[in-house]
Structure 1
Amino acid sequence: MAQDKVTSIDVARLAGVSQSAVSRVFTPGASVSKRTAQKVREAAEALGYRPNILARSLITGRSRIIGLVVAYLENYFYPEALEKLSNALQAEGYHVLVFMASQTAGNIDDVLTEILDYQVDGIIMASVALSSDLSSRCQAAGVPVVLFNRHQDDDTLTAVISDNAGGARMLASFLVEAGHERIAHIAGWEGASTQRDRESGFRDGLAACGRALFAREVGNFEPETARQAARRMFDREDRPDAVFVANDHMAFFVMDVLRFELGLQVPDDVSVVGFDDVPPAAWPAYGLTTVRQRANRMVEETVKALLERIENPHADPKRIALDAPLIVRTSSRTPEGWGR
């Protein structure tokens, strides 16, 4: 015979406290004495009691659940960032549900509908865009949304990004100062604000030095597409002598094509630079010169902004752009006197 489910009343009776005291012990942020909390947790453990979070949300109006949406995890930047986001939210007493999405509008619509069914307190969108219709649905449901590593032309959305344009401008200046004449770009997915901002900043940086882009291909943030772009760009006599790849993930595959398929020396024949500073960028096999996204700061600002919107739904949305420093390694020639 199945055993009857243990309830908070059973815990309260064994601990010798009120049912409301049991509820407070299992409600993050609620006021309860250390002695009472210890008695309740000992009674709960003895009885095998677990609080029903979803049932409690019907009473409090809060599920303590955050929906985290990401489109792809192949890029080393996102698994690390998602782990940091999950840990930071859990430290604030929230549970995290991760939802995978693609870049197609229909898929994101389906995913968002599923998220809202969970009565989440907030949503973080990482690497995916939100249409104006979906944004309105979230507002109507009273669910705040924060964009992570992405922004949109929507004044109602809060976004936390790196200074993508500023970081790319630094790369352009760095390559010109290093003496490069034929500077190229392998772009990411052109629907991403990160790609648009990085390319715009890179072109502006070249223009400020009296230069223009020598060649351009699209890698779509995909390994095989990036490989093909590198082959088209470099398997010819008038090849570039430097290339800015829109993120580190693609840059690793581009470097492999240059060195192992085309027999080029990096950086003697061509300098390669990227953006993100994911862990493999520091490996000696790549030694990638890149622009660092400060993942810890981005996570900190994202969680802070989301909790602010949860506590105060009328708080003004904001766009937070964090500085992105240039990290110089061995994949690029270095300007004379650099770093002195």
Structure 2
Amino acid sequence: MSTKGRITAQDVARLAGVSQSAVSRVFTPGASVSPATVDRVRAAADTLGYRPDALARAMITGRSRIIGLVVAYLENQFYPLAIEKLSRALQARGYHVLIFMAENATDNVSEVVRELIDYRVDGIITASVSLSNELTGRLAGQGIPVVNFNRGQEDPRLTDVTSDNVAGGRRATDYLIAAGHRRIAHIMGWQGSSTGRDRAEGFRQAMAAAGLEPVAMIDGMYDREATIRATRDLFTRPDRPDALFVGNDHMAFAAMDELRFGLGLGVPGDVSVIGYDDVPMAAWPAYDLTTIRQPVNRMVRATVEAILGMIEGDVAPQKTHIDGPLVERGSARRPDTNLKEASR
């Protein structure tokens, strides 16, 4: 045994009757080793309680098989679901995920990413945060690939994987227009994010194509309280909207709660509401939310293939936009619904 009480690969090799390099190969995903050696080494490791030191191995091999995941916004039910799927998909490929929380402030994100660099991560996935040009350059200089998940940046050194947010915004707005609505407002996602801006651009395009002017476009900041205030402002004015497109489901739930329980309005009788994401709560009978579905499974697959392609091969940065459908439920009047019946 090692003199300091820490079990080492040398201890495992001695008990298993193999070389230390054989122990290393057993615990290296994809390494060539015979089944008999695997059985002997793992039995010895279990007996001794040995676990390989990932950081020490990273210093030797230059690979930690750890992906850093930086997240800023877990209140949105879309992100816990996406993080779980990303983690499972990466683990199935022999990688582990190190999750760091960050605020959207540039200084905070930079400090978190610097810590991830210290952990010798093989790559970084950002979800709902943006990187500065200086930090992107530093990561590129160190050969650490970055994929933005559900957030885009203009920087050509970064890979982005998002839904087609402009098309989704158009699709939601076209649906409301087809249902006979003409007084339509948009509570936007945070305009500091590409997702918020792109969905708002889709809304503008659809309204302009129909010859309509938005009743209002208000930044809901991806925040529940800000959305409640925006909803109250919109629907206490004399010329209130008859339809509302909301920049994500998290905010749409807040808007519906305020409409029904704060203002006593019927959904969709008095106002149609459409969200964006299609999180599991959207299907709950309490909300029954018509929404644009983010194709999360395809987004996760594209993200995993992109980050591992850059780590294990020579895949160039790319911008991927995946289209998602509109899911019809009961929060919005349907285009084929009789208007008299819908307004009762």
* Cross-structure match for 1:183: 184
Q: Distance in 2 between matches of 1:217 and 1:168?
A: 15
The DSSP-based 3-state class of the residue aligned with 1:227 is: helix
The DSSP-based 3-state class of the residue aligned with 1:251 is: helix
Is the Cα–Cα contact under 8 Å of residues 7 and 48 in structure 2 kept in the other structure? Answer: yes
In the comparison of the two structures, how many residue pairs are matched?
336
Q: Distance in 1 between matches of 2:266 and 2:195?
A: 29
Alignment partner of 1:236 is 2:249? no
Is the Cα–Cα contact under 8 Å of residues 164 and 201 in structure 1 kept in the other structure? Answer: yes
What are the superposed Cα offsets for residues 45-84 of structure 1, whole Å, 9 maximum, x if unpaired? 1111111111111110001111100011000000110111
* Cross-structure match for 1:50: 51
Q: Distance in 1 between matches of 2:72 and 2:6?
A: 39
Q: Distance in 2 between matches of 1:104 and 1:271?
A: 35
Length-normalised TM-score, structure 1:
0.96
Is the Cα–Cα contact under 8 Å of residues 272 and 332 in structure 1 kept in the other structure? Answer: yes
Q: Distance in 2 between matches of 1:208 and 1:39?
A: 69
* Cross-structure match for 1:295: 296
Length-normalised TM-score, structure 2:
0.95
What are the superposed Cα offsets for residues 72-124 of structure 1, whole Å, 9 maximum, x if unpaired? 10000001101111111111111211111111111111111111111110000
| Runs of 4+ that moved beyond 3 A | none
Q: Distance in 2 between matches of 1:220 and 1:158?
A: 25
Deviation at 1:4, TM superposition (A): 2.6
Is the Cα–Cα contact under 8 Å of residues 217 and 233 in structure 1 kept in the other structure? Answer: no
Is the Cα–Cα contact under 8 Å of residues 140 and 157 in structure 2 kept in the other structure? Answer: no
Deviation at 1:3, TM superposition (A): 5.9
Alignment partner of 1:254 is 2:263? no
Q: Distance in 2 between matches of 1:116 and 1:49?
A: 26
* Cross-structure match for 2:317: 317
Alignment partner of 1:221 is 2:218? no
* Cross-structure match for 1:31: 32
What are the superposed Cα offsets for residues 18-71 of structure 1, whole Å, 9 maximum, x if unpaired? 211110100111111212111110011111111111111111000111110001
Return 5+ residue gaps in structure 2 as ranges: 339-344
Return 5+ residue gaps in structure 1 as ranges: none
Deviation at 1:337, TM superposition (A): 7.6
The DSSP-based 3-state class of the residue aligned with 1:321 is: strand
* Cross-structure match for 1:71: 72
Q: Distance in 2 between matches of 1:215 and 1:58?
A: 55
Range moving further from structure 2, 49-58 or 205-214: 205-214
- Indicate the RMSD between aligned Cα atoms, in angstroms: 1.3
User: Matches of residues 325-336 of structure 1 in structure 2 within 5 Å?
Assistant: 325-336=325-336
* Identity over aligned pairs, percent: 60
Deviation at 1:236, TM superposition (A): 2.0
Q: Distance in 2 between matches of 1:282 and 1:64?
A: 37
Decide whether aligned partners of structure 1 residues 208 and 130 sit closer, same or farther in structure 2, where only a CA change above 3 A counts: same
Is the Cα–Cα contact under 8 Å of residues 166 and 201 in structure 1 kept in the other structure? Answer: yes
The DSSP-based 3-state class of the residue aligned with 1:129 is: coil
Is the Cα–Cα contact under 8 Å of residues 7 and 49 in structure 1 kept in the other structure? Answer: yes
Q: Distance in 1 between matches of 2:236 and 2:319?
A: 41
